[in-house]
Amino acid sequence: MTLYINIDTGTNILSLSLYIYNMLNSIFSYLVLSTFLYFLKYCSILNNKYKYIYIKFILLIVRWSKRRKKKVSILCDA
């Protein structure tokens, strides 16, 4: 019994999964960015009453982006 593997089908499935992964990443990035812009507008309306929350939110986004870059680089290395 011989098993034939179609390489083109495998690469198409891989490219499709990478396309879906990148699409989900871009949607998630858009949601984070829009939330950040809304929060920025909200803080400016409050005249910096809750400045410490704003700073913590920025630090959270910076940490998330660093963690995301590490995950993507590990995925590319594999």
pLDDT given at position 77? 43
Token digits of residue 27: 């949607």
d(CA 43, CA 48): 6
Looking up tokens 């630090």, which residue turns up? 59
CA quadruple 31, 34, 40, 41: dihedral sign: negative
pLDDT at position 65: 67
What proportion of the chain, given as a percentage, has pLDDT over 70?
49
pTM for the model: 0.39
Q: Quick check: 66 pLDDT over 50?
A: yes
Hey, what are 6's tokens? 């179609």
- pLDDT tens figures, 3-53: 444 555 555 666 777 777 777 777 887 788 778 777 777 766 555 666 667
